[in-house]
Each structure stands twice: as C-alpha cells, then as structure tokens.
C-alpha cells in the first residue's frame, strides 16, 4: 500500500542543518500495522509529517520517494496532494489540544473532512459525524457535536482527533501516539475500532507510539528508530521474543510493572544526540554499555540476521546471530526499597467529602439553573513518603480533584468539604498563607504545551517558581539548581536557552516535571506526568520520583491511566467514576482482589506485554 525508499528530511535551524530522518526505508502492506517506536527526538513524528508533506517552512524532503498504491507523492503538485490528505492517507496528531481549531465546534471539524472527501453534505454529513463520535466513545454524541474543544477533557479531544482522521475512511492512517491521552477502556475501544476498520477496508496503519504493550497487541511489524535511523526492524513476535539491538534490550528492561516493584528501572543514561552533526560511528555508542572502539570507527549497516529481522549493530555480521537479547540488562540492579513505607502519624493530606460543582448559567442575567457535579463527595488520605494513584476514565473528575486541592478553581466552581494539608485547611487561604501552601504543593499538568509559557526560555520557566516561592535563594544558586534538574529529567544543558516550541512532546513533559520539582515541594499532584514520555525517559522519571520520595519523603497524588506505572509506583489506589470513588485501598488489594465491577473492567482492558525472560 505504501513504500518508503531512502527518505531523508532536513530542517534548517540556528544551530545548523538538522537531519531529522536519514535514509529511512520501509514498506506497509494493505491491512497491516507497522509500528515505529523509539525515544522522543528520534524522528518518528518528522517521518509522519514528511509522508504527508506537512513539514514546517524550515523543513524539506532532501531525498527519497514515497509511493502510495502506485502513486509517487513527493512529486505531486500541492493541489493534487490536498486530495490525497484525509481521503487516501490521514493522520491522528499527537497533541489534540494544539491540533483542533479552538473556534470551530468538533462537529464542524469532522463535517469539514466528510464534505471535502465524500459525496455527503449538510444534514447527512452531520449525521455521519455523530456516528463517528459515537464510534470513538464520546457519550451523548448528538449533543457533544456542538461542543468546542475547550469544553472537552484531554482524552475526549484525542477521541475527536481519531474521528476526524477516520471520517473519510482512508487507505492509510498514520497514528502518532493515538492512545496517549486515553484511559485503558477507551484505549481498548479505539484499538478495536482501528482493527475492525483494517479488516473491513484493508486499511494500512503506521503506528507511532512509545507504548510497547500496545505495539505488542496491535503491530504486525516493528521498526525501532534512533537518531533519525532505523536500528532494528522485525516482525512483532520476533522483536519482543528476542530483541537484538542493545537499545531494544534496554527499552524493554525499562518498562514498569508489578515485577519491577521495589527495583530501579533500567533507564538508559544520556539523551538522543543532536542531529545537526555528521556521525562518524554508531549513533547509540555514547549510551551503549556494549560499545567498543569499532563502534566509533564507521557507521554500522543494517544487517539481516534472519529473513525478517535486521539490526544496525557491529555485534552482528551477515549470516551470524549473536543473540544479544539473552543478556539480562537488569541483573546488576539493586532493590530500591528495603521495606515498604507504612502509613503512620497524621496524614500530610486529608480530604473529606470533597465536592467541586460547576454552576450551569443561563439567560441574560446568567442565573444559576443547576450544577455539573464534577467531584461529588470524595474522601481519602495521603501520608508523607507514599503514593496514591487516582485512576479512572476521562471525565471522571480526577484532574478536577487535583486542581481543586491546589485552589486553582476559585471563582469558577463551588467547592465544599474539607482538604487539610498538615492539619491546615487549604480552602480560604489568602496571601502569604496561600504562598506557603504552594511551596509545599505543586502540580504537573497533563498538557505541557498549554502549561508552559511560549514566550519564556527554559531557564526563565524553571527559575520563575524558585524566585517567587524561595526568594532567599540567590540567582547563582537558582541557576545551579536548574542545571541539575535538567540533567535529572534527561535534557541536555543546551536546552536551557531554548523555547518550549523547540522541543518534542516528551521533552516538554520533562520540562513540566522539572518545573514542579524546582521548588522542592512536599506533595506533588502529578496529572498524567509520564503519558507523553517514551519508556526510557519514563524509567528515568520514575526512578527520580522514587529517589525524591526516599530522600525527602515527598508524597504523590498520581493521576494516571497507565496501570504499569500504577503497579510499579503506587502504595494505594483510588478508583473514580462519575465524580465519586468506587474503590479505595492498598495497591495489593485493588490490583489483586478488585471488588467493584468498574475496577475489574479497567484491569481487563489493560494491554499486557509478556516479557521474554
């Protein structure tokens, strides 16, 4: 269906010519899912934009061909390319908040695709749009079709993006992190929908993701990308049963789950090298524990070790199979905790019968005629040094709980009940009292692009909170703290003078985490803090969060839909549905002996990756 040959993409930048994609070749057949995996900054999304010719003004396809069912796309005039996009090949973008038009309803944006690429228009097109919203799991679709993007949760916006991409039933779908912002039940629903469309329409899919469990569940073939190159390509069963490249082995060992609990995850040291340089050897050599002088002498070729398995590594030669995957990269890891932290004494955070109601106003005088009960009677406690995971589907009220506790909803919602931090009521705090509370409690927002100031450089973003909440720290010490934080979250020192738009989605998430950590809080409300991160960086962040908890006794209210992270990190779990807690207990009780039917449904929907060892 689509064949890519020697595709090379270049971007002009202030620091020189960036070779984002370097001689990439792959083929995707009708009805096949081809997964492209790797860390942020490896060139995955730039590959997708190159196929659709949606590169930024500074970018160009320098070489290579892309053939869609016999039609070469790189030589088409733009007028013809507009007929290809959306109808023959479409894309589900990674960040729905920045991809959806904020001044158009979601229905208008779906109808626009249907009317542009099919024979339907007017009322039939709108009816088709409603059907697509229903198929992707939007409740009350006939009413929500007239909603604007800002009126929907992050997961709901992602579902709208999926509906837009599939509305014209294309031949090829590029899915760039299509389930990153989705809870497990909706993720399962979307993946089932994509599978059904593949079977009925022989649709090909290029799946770009860092969720290896989803890859194992969905993909027929896998290509691992690093620093603009494919370093390993194989069938999905062969890749997961016996990964060959050291990078692949390390990625699989970095996955959190119940088996890794109490251990340090196998995080890969360092970061992806900048692509504005000429490489003289293996691009992974600086981070590889198996590197030798030979790795630095010449770039390794992509060598076939089996008929359907190729790897770019000097450890392999044509006709030889050295089975690197038999090594256990985690054998030298030591247990992180000698014993589980048990709750004792007064809770750091005590929440009792907490309610957050948003008024519904109508009429000229905007009288309150009712309330949206986003959070309705939630109670829990959190001790220092412990992690409470708050899980549930999008729209269940998880994020609203976090924002309400941090007093970020004053003036827009009616908050009732009590929330005590060290015995002091958070509601009603003003001035210096509120400032002191915010020194102790910080939040990592779900959408890093929307929460980072686009006009401020990284050093200004990270130092702002320290200067405001810790004025006693001098500028030199602030700068040293910022530099140390960047290293801890896996960003290069050169990032300090850059702006948020110059980073990938995963890198922006690391910035958001660093900003929350900068003021050294006692409690962090982490709203999907690892959802946009690839597994190696996720391992770094989880190790960092664990280290801080061990050293400083930091407590985490961890809002997530990633049950692998929950199994690895959480001491206690609270399950939310429709603004209420339906199950609450220790991680062992909830994960091993779930009592509520909704919790059991969530656990059944979790994609699992069977480890080869």
Q: What is the mean pLDDT of residues 248-259?
A: 85
Q: What percent of the chain has pLDDT over 90?
A: 42
For residue 181, pLDDT over 60 is answered with yes
Distances (CA, A) of 386 to 350, 549, 567, 579: 13, 8, 14, 23
Sheet holding 441-444: strands in order across? 441-444, 523-527, 555-559, 387-391, 572-577, 580-586
Predicted confidence (pLDDT) per residue in 445-497, tens digit: 877 778 889 999 999 999 988 888 888 888 899 888 888 888 878 788 888 99
The reported pLDDT for the residue numbered 236 is 93
Predicted confidence (pLDDT) per residue in 104-144, tens digit: 999 999 999 999 999 999 999 999 999 999 988 888 999 99
C-alpha–C-alpha distance, residues 356 and 446, integer Å: 19
What one-character DSSP code corresponds to residue 410?
A: B
C-alpha–C-alpha distance, residues 466 and 452, integer Å: 16
For residue 341, pLDDT over 60 is answered with no
323-357 burial: b if 16+ Cβ within 10 Å, else e: ebbeeebbeeeeebeeeebeeeeebbbbbeebbbb
Strands (E), 325-451: 349-362, 367-382, 387-391, 414-421, 424-425, 441-444
The reported pLDDT for the residue numbered 430 is 87
Q: What is the pTM of this model?
A: 0.74
C-alpha–C-alpha distance, residues 163 and 106, integer Å: 10
Q: What percent of the chain has pLDDT over 70?
A: 94
| Helix (H/G/I), strand (E/B), else coil: 8 | strand
Q: Which residues contact 450 (CB under 8 A, 6 or more apart)?
A: 97, 98
End-to-end CA distance of the chain: 36
Q: Is the dihedral of CA 504, 162, 136, 196 positive or negative?
A: negative
- Secondary structure in 3-state letters for 26-74: EEECCCCEEEEECCCCCCHHHHHHHHHCCCCCCEEEEEEEEEECCEECC
For residue 362, pLDDT over 80 is answered with yes
| Mean pLDDT value across the chain | 86
Quickly count: other Cβ atoms within 10 Å of residue 576's Cβ. 24
Q: Is the dihedral of CA 110, 112, 113, 119 positive or negative?
A: positive
Q: What is the mean pLDDT of residues 60-76?
A: 92
DSSP string covering 592-613: HS--SHHHHHHHHT--------
C-alpha–C-alpha distance, residues 223 and 214, integer Å: 14
Q: Which residues contact 452 (CB under 8 A, 6 or more apart)?
A: 461, 500, 508, 511, 512, 515
Q: Which residues contact 232 (CB under 8 A, 6 or more apart)?
A: 222, 223, 224, 239, 243, 244, 245, 247, 248, 309, 310, 311, 312
Long-range Cβ contact pairs of 425-432 (< 8 A, separation 24 or more) = none
Confidence of residue 261 (pLDDT cuts 50, 70, 90): confident
For residue 612, pLDDT over 60 is answered with no
For residue 329, pLDDT over 60 is answered with no
For residue 384, pLDDT over 60 is answered with yes
Helix (H) or strand (E) holding 236: helix 236-241
| Helix (H/G/I), strand (E/B), else coil: 304 | strand
Helix (H) or strand (E) holding 21: strand 16-28
The reported pLDDT for the residue numbered 74 is 92
The reported pLDDT for the residue numbered 224 is 95
Alpha helices in 367-443 (DSSP H): 398-405, 431-440
Tokens for 449, please give them: 């692009």
C-alpha–C-alpha distance, residues 419 and 407, integer Å: 10
Q: What is the mean pLDDT of residues 39-55?
A: 89
Tokens for 375, please give them: 């959070």
C-alpha–C-alpha distance, residues 610 and 465, integer Å: 42
| Helix (H/G/I), strand (E/B), else coil: 556 | strand
Least confidently predicted of 47-61, 286-300, 306-320: 306-320
């Amino acid at each position: 269906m689509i064949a890519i040959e020697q595709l090379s993409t270049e971007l002009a930048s202030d620091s020189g010519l960036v070779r984002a994609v370097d001689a990439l070749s792959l083929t995707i057949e009708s009805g096949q899912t081809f997964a492209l995996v790797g860390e942020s900054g490896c060139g995955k999304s730039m590959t997708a934009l190159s196929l659709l010719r949606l590169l930024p003004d500074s970018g160009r396809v320098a070489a290579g061909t892309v053939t869609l069912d016999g039609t070469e796309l790189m030589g088409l005039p733009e007028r013809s390319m507009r007929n290809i996009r959306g109808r023959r090949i479409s894309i589900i973008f990674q960040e729905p908040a920045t991809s959806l038009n904020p001044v158009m309803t979601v229905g208008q944006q779906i109808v626009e695709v249907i009317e542009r690429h099919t024979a339907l228009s007017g009322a039939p097109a709108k009816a088709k749009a409603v059907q697509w919203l229903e198929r992707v799991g939007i409740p009350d679709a006939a009413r929500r079709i007239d909603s604007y993007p800002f009126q929907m949760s992050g997961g709901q916006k992602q579902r709208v993006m999926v509906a837009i991409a599939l509305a014209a039933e294309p031949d090829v779908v590029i899915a760039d992190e299509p389930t990153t912002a989705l809870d497990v039940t909706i993720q399962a629903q979307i993946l089932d929908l994509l599978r059904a469309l593949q079977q009925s329409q022989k649709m090909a899919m290029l799946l770009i993701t860092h969720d290896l469990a989803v890859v194992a569940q969905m993909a027929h073939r896998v290509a691992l990308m690093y620093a603009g190159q494919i370093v390993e390509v194989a069938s999905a069963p062969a890749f997961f049963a016996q990964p060959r490249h050291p990078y692949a082995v390390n990625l699989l060992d970095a996955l959190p789950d119940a088996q890794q609990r109490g251990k340090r995850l196998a995080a890969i040291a360092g970061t992806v090298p900048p692509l504005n340089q000429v490489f003289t050897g293996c691009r992974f050599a600086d981070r590889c524990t198996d590197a030798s002088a030979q790795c630095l002498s010449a770039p390794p070729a992509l060598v076939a070790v089996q008929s359907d398995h190729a790897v770019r590594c000097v450890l392999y030669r044509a006709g030889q199979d050295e089975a690197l995957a038999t090594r256990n990269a985690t054998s030298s890891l030591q247990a992180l905790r000698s014993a589980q932290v048990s709750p004792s004494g007064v809770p750091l955070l005590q929440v009792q019968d907490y309610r957050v109601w948003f008024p519904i106003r109508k009429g000229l005088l905007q009288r309150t005629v009712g309330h949206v009960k986003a959070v309705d009677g939630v109670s829990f406690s959190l001790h220092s040094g412990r992690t409470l995971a708050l899980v549930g589907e999008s729209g269940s009220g998880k994020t609203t709980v976090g924002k309400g506790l941090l007093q970020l909803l004053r003036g827009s919602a009616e908050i009732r009940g009590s929330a005590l931090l060290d015995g002091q009521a958070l509601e009603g705090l003003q001035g210096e009292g509120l400032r002191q509370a915010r020194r102790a409690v910080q939040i990592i927002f779900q959408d890093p692009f929307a929460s980072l100031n686009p006009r401020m450089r990284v050093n200004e973003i990270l130092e702002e909170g320290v200067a405001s909440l810790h004025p006693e720290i001098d500028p030199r010490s602030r700068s040293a703290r910022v530099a140390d934080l960047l290293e801890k979250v896996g960003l290069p020192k050169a990032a300090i003078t850059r702006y948020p738009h110059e980073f990938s989605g995963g890198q922006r998430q690391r910035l958001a985490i660093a900003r929350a950590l900068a003021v050294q809080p006692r409690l962090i409300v982490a709203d999907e803090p690892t959802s946009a991160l690839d597994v190696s960086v996720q391992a770094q962040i989880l190790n960092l969060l664990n280290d801080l908890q061990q050293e400083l006794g930091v407590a985490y209210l961890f809002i997530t839909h990633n049950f692998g992270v929950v199994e690895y990190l959480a001491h206690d779990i609270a399950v939310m549905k429709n603004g209420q807690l339906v199950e609450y207990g220790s991680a062992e009780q909830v994960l091993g002996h779930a009592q509520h039917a909704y919790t059991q449904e969530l656990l059944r929907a979790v994609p699992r990756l069977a480890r080869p060892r």
